[in-house]
Amino acid sequence: MITSLHQLDFSKTYSYADYLTWQFEEMIELIKGKIMPMAAPNRFHQDISRNLNRVIDNFMLDKPCRVYYAPFDVRLLKNTQIKDEKEIYTVVQPDLCVICDPNKLDDRGCLGAPDWIIEIVSAGNSKRDIQDKFELYQENAVKEYWIVRPYENSVEQFYLENERYQIKGIYTQSNKLRPIIFPTLEIDLEKVFSH
């Protein structure tokens, strides 16, 4: 039984089936089978997450879409027919994600790509969110991806067009921002970054 992160071999490739057997408290993600430890978020990160969640969740009240926040397992797989846990090699914990297809939701989280993912960059995970997850979300067809930079009070908005992310804009604390997939939702970034 694996009860400590230190018992794992970081050079090995692991599946979701392996992930489900681990009995340790550390938060991790699996990206293409590789273990990626996660740092505990700081208070400012949590404030931003809470502020975004509040606005998005209120907007979704009368809609079929649902917003979830970490920790929440999102299992990404290019082949949507795969259901066997031994064939799933990517499990991420987005800071926030919106899923509009209820068939993707189960008791363990989300199986397949959410419609919208928001990642809040921390000092320890900036490469993962800006490069690794950007590419991962793009190749798994997440329609919209936001990268929130807390210490710059800015948001980069990307939208999937022809299987590639296009930047729609970089917004700062003084802006109001609308998701491409929910054009009637207006998010006041001054309120998002207030703490």
- Please choose, from the candidates 15, 36, 31, the residue with its C-alpha nearest in 3D space to the C-alpha of residue 84: 15
- Which residue in 34, 25, 35, 44 sits closest to 120, CA to CA? 44
pLDDT in tens, 121-157: 987 667 777 889 999 999 999 999 999 999 999 999 9
Q: Which structural domains are found in the chain, ordered by start?
A: 39-192 (3.90.1570.10)
pLDDT tens digit string along 39-83?
888 999 999 999 999 999 999 999 999 999 999 999 998 766 667
CA distance 194 to 88: 38
pLDDT score, position 122:
81
For residue 59, give the amino acid letter. Answer: F
In this predicted structure, what is the pLDDT of residue 79? Answer: 63
Per-residue model confidence (pLDDT) at position 141: 95
pLDDT at residue 15 greater than cutoff 70: yes
Compute the average pLDDT of residues 147-174.
96
Query: Which pLDDT score, from 0 to 100, does residue 161 have?
Result: 97
Judge whether residue 180 has pLDDT over 80: yes
- In this prediction, residues 8-17 reach a mean pLDDT of 96
DSSP bridge pairs for 30: 35, 91
Q: What is the pLDDT of residue 129?
A: 74
Q: What are the distances in angstroms from CA 68 to CA 30, 82, 109?
A: 19, 23, 9
pLDDT value of residue 39: 84
Task: Provide the pLDDT confidence category of residue 7 given band limits of 50, 70 and 90.
Answer: very high
Q: What is the pLDDT of residue 195?
A: 74
Q: For the segment 88-107, what is each residue's pLDDT rounded down to a tens digit?
A: 999 999 999 999 999 999 99
Q: Write the CB contacts of 181 (distance below 8 Å, at least 6 apart in sequence).
A: 115, 116, 143, 144, 159
